[in-house]
Amino acid sequence: MDRLFGHSAFDLNRDGKISGAEWAFINDTFFEDNNGISSGSNINEDDDVIDEIEMAGLDRDELEFMDEDERREALEDAGLDADDFDDFDF
Protein backbone atom coordinates (compact mmCIF):
# COMPACT_ATOMS: atom_id res chain seq x y z
CA MET A 1 0.00 0.00 0.00
CA ASP A 2 2.93 2.32 0.53
CA ARG A 3 3.42 2.46 -3.23
CA LEU A 4 -0.16 3.62 -3.73
CA PHE A 5 -0.45 6.10 -0.90
CA GLY A 6 3.09 6.83 0.35
CA HIS A 7 4.34 10.39 -0.26
CA SER A 8 0.75 11.54 -0.74
CA ALA A 9 -1.85 13.43 1.19
CA PHE A 10 -2.59 10.18 3.07
CA ASP A 11 0.95 9.99 4.44
CA LEU A 12 -0.11 12.23 7.30
CA ASN A 13 3.24 12.21 9.14
CA ARG A 14 5.23 12.47 5.88
CA ASP A 15 7.53 9.53 6.68
CA GLY A 16 7.02 7.87 3.28
CA LYS A 17 5.14 4.92 4.79
CA ILE A 18 1.50 4.33 5.58
CA SER A 19 1.01 3.42 9.25
CA GLY A 20 -1.96 1.55 10.69
CA ALA A 21 -3.64 4.79 11.71
CA GLU A 22 -3.14 6.26 8.24
CA TRP A 23 -4.48 3.08 6.65
CA ALA A 24 -7.57 3.31 8.91
CA PHE A 25 -8.08 6.87 7.67
CA ILE A 26 -7.77 5.70 4.05
CA ASN A 27 -10.23 2.86 4.71
CA ASP A 28 -12.75 5.20 6.32
CA THR A 29 -12.36 7.72 3.52
CA PHE A 30 -12.72 5.36 0.56
CA PHE A 31 -14.63 2.32 1.78
CA GLU A 32 -17.26 3.57 4.23
CA ASP A 33 -20.28 5.74 3.80
CA ASN A 34 -21.18 8.67 6.06
CA ASN A 35 -22.72 6.40 8.68
CA GLY A 36 -19.54 4.38 9.18
CA ILE A 37 -21.05 1.37 7.46
CA SER A 38 -19.08 -0.25 4.67
CA SER A 39 -20.48 0.50 1.24
CA GLY A 40 -22.80 -2.10 -0.21
CA SER A 41 -23.45 -3.89 3.06
CA ASN A 42 -26.63 -4.13 5.01
CA ILE A 43 -25.36 -4.93 8.47
CA ASN A 44 -28.72 -4.98 10.24
CA GLU A 45 -30.20 -7.45 7.80
CA ASP A 46 -27.07 -9.64 7.85
CA ASP A 47 -27.05 -9.64 11.66
CA ASP A 48 -30.69 -10.74 11.73
CA VAL A 49 -29.97 -13.62 9.35
CA ILE A 50 -26.89 -14.69 11.32
CA ASP A 51 -28.88 -14.58 14.57
CA GLU A 52 -31.60 -16.72 13.01
CA ILE A 53 -29.02 -19.23 11.76
CA GLU A 54 -27.31 -19.44 15.16
CA MET A 55 -30.61 -19.79 17.04
CA ALA A 56 -31.39 -22.78 14.80
CA GLY A 57 -28.12 -24.36 15.97
CA LEU A 58 -26.25 -23.90 12.70
CA ASP A 59 -22.80 -22.45 12.13
CA ARG A 60 -22.43 -19.88 9.36
CA ASP A 61 -18.87 -20.98 8.58
CA GLU A 62 -19.98 -24.58 8.09
CA LEU A 63 -22.84 -23.46 5.85
CA GLU A 64 -20.40 -21.41 3.79
CA PHE A 65 -18.37 -24.49 2.88
CA MET A 66 -21.37 -26.63 1.97
CA ASP A 67 -22.56 -26.89 -1.59
CA GLU A 68 -25.96 -25.39 -2.32
CA ASP A 69 -27.92 -28.64 -1.93
CA GLU A 70 -26.25 -29.52 1.39
CA ARG A 71 -26.87 -26.00 2.70
CA ARG A 72 -30.55 -26.15 1.68
CA GLU A 73 -30.96 -29.52 3.42
CA ALA A 74 -29.22 -28.29 6.60
CA LEU A 75 -31.44 -25.21 6.73
CA GLU A 76 -34.59 -27.26 6.20
CA ASP A 77 -33.52 -29.83 8.81
CA ALA A 78 -33.09 -26.95 11.26
CA GLY A 79 -36.67 -25.87 10.59
CA LEU A 80 -35.79 -22.86 8.43
CA ASP A 81 -37.14 -22.03 4.99
CA ALA A 82 -34.12 -22.33 2.71
CA ASP A 83 -35.70 -19.95 0.20
CA ASP A 84 -35.44 -17.15 2.78
CA PHE A 85 -31.64 -17.43 2.59
CA ASP A 86 -31.19 -17.40 -1.20
CA ASP A 87 -30.01 -13.79 -1.24
CA PHE A 88 -27.74 -14.17 1.78
CA ASP A 89 -24.04 -14.39 0.92
CA PHE A 90 -22.57 -17.34 2.80
Instruction: Please give the model's pTM, rounded to 2 decimal places.
Output: 0.50
CA atoms of 58 and 43, how far apart (whole Å): 19
Q: What percent of the chain has pLDDT over 90?
A: 20
pLDDT at position 33 is 59
pLDDT greater at residue 9 or residue 44? 9
pLDDT at position 37 is 52
**What value does the mean pLDDT of the chain take?**
78
Residue-wise pLDDT tens digits, 25-57? 878 877 765 555 544 555 566 788 888 888 888
